[in-house]
Structure 1
């Protein structure tokens, strides 16, 4: 099985390389692109699982433009922290920014609220929700007000707990200090099962686990490997919290609309290709993480035994999302978008 996973992963990357080379050659001959040097502010380190796709995006835009459009990525918040990048991009301080929409639930009340627990089964499901969100007039209004356009968003593997101790039951969760991202509704949802949510940036997760500030963190398991959380926490819990639309690239709207049409089309084309390919590659990565990386790093994979009881205690996060946005005056958007979430959740399996 492991050999097959590695083989499939290599074949996927090979296919990407062939597609890239073929498309780049054809595009470079057919199009005349302007010389452009762009800056992309990124909120996580370059070695974070998933960050390789932003580098792929930058490399692919350069290849398909015949080397004309180059993008330099400034990693790990070196050009702005996670909650600053939206404003930096919207004001034109940087042309491009990579951060998580979930940090901006106030600035973008609908666009920033698609990260919900126990809704999306696969990375492709999460990406599909993001794509549908972009078609909604309220989402476009949210983006316009902040001066940005969303080029693409990554769909993560399911978020699960990674802990300093085993967690098998609801009783084990009571009083458990768990790092959560800035996404809304997570605190209300998790508090119902006795968890004490602690909101800290991704960059501080290792230190928080090491110092005992938190007992666990929520993340896709491969992020625990890339972040070396296994050095300070040895238990991965299989409770499936669902795939997430995690982060993606935003571009300054005014600048983007001033660029030639072929540049706009190229960036959208590469973004669409990335969402399709990355979602598939993530599935192979999840298997490799559990079957290869966990044993290699001495991580124990723990079976959570009370998923049904968890759902009964926590309730449904879509209900929390719908009630909050309706109360805030976005009931029409809820009517349009709630069916998307309900359809995804209907196919969710542990």
Structure 2
């Protein structure tokens, strides 16, 4: 996994603490650091909580999905995505050649009614594991006859039970991430999986590095982050614009995951910019809170110099995921209205 990490690190530079918005106005909130939750390996790419508030759950680079248990226990193993996985080969082994054997869970999302955890694994595609964890079951690794290249993120509509997921590319694997950027790959896809019919449907193609996605609180639309094209795309599920999409927001830096908070807003995480993206007149923030209409509500400043992959806000706390780190950092966060009080 050290090889994969070096691929990412060779592309990206460090962050500064603020974002200059197009209006020239600074909207920056300095998050208060609370605690650090150590992990046995790098790469807490995505973060999830179960219906009872248990967690955080996260997937790490040695192929395991871990659950955090309060107190002195810390993270414990919850699930794995490869039935051929071996502790001897996967734990502590930095060889990228073993990734398919070990699995690499990225996106995580619970269906609260059933307790099932759905997983986007970069090598094994869409998977699911029950409330008690264990070995996950593969649900799909291709759509319309085209294999997934790099299954990256998902979200579950807890009202309908539908699972929405994105494949970063159908041409490049996770180990070819830097190549996909150089090639400006546009083969990412948004898909829907119906757990009852077990049908997988492609909703939208031609995405430029589909890195993250999140469903709106009312289930009417999906926001998709595109790393290659540095933008957010909005896909309508309901209403007069249903089945159509539009570019919602464009950036000068590359967005990673996007996560909806309890208020129905969205947190966008940013990997650091590569040398071709650097702009001396524009500083960067590791995370932005935006509305469903694309309005930037605030930028956050964190005590980290590493790029982050996800900002997950749950019960007044902000959990930070990163492909580079051996821990999940936790910050205090209050809504804008509470901070004004």
TM-score category by the smaller chain?
Answer: under 0.3
If the length of structure 1 is used for normalisation, what is the TM-score? Answer: 0.24
Q: 1 or 2 for the larger relative contact order (CA 8 Å, sep ≥6)?
A: 1
Q: TM-score scaled by structure 2?
A: 0.25
Question: Which entry has the higher C-alpha Rg, 1 or 2?
Answer: 1
Greater per-residue strand proportion: 2
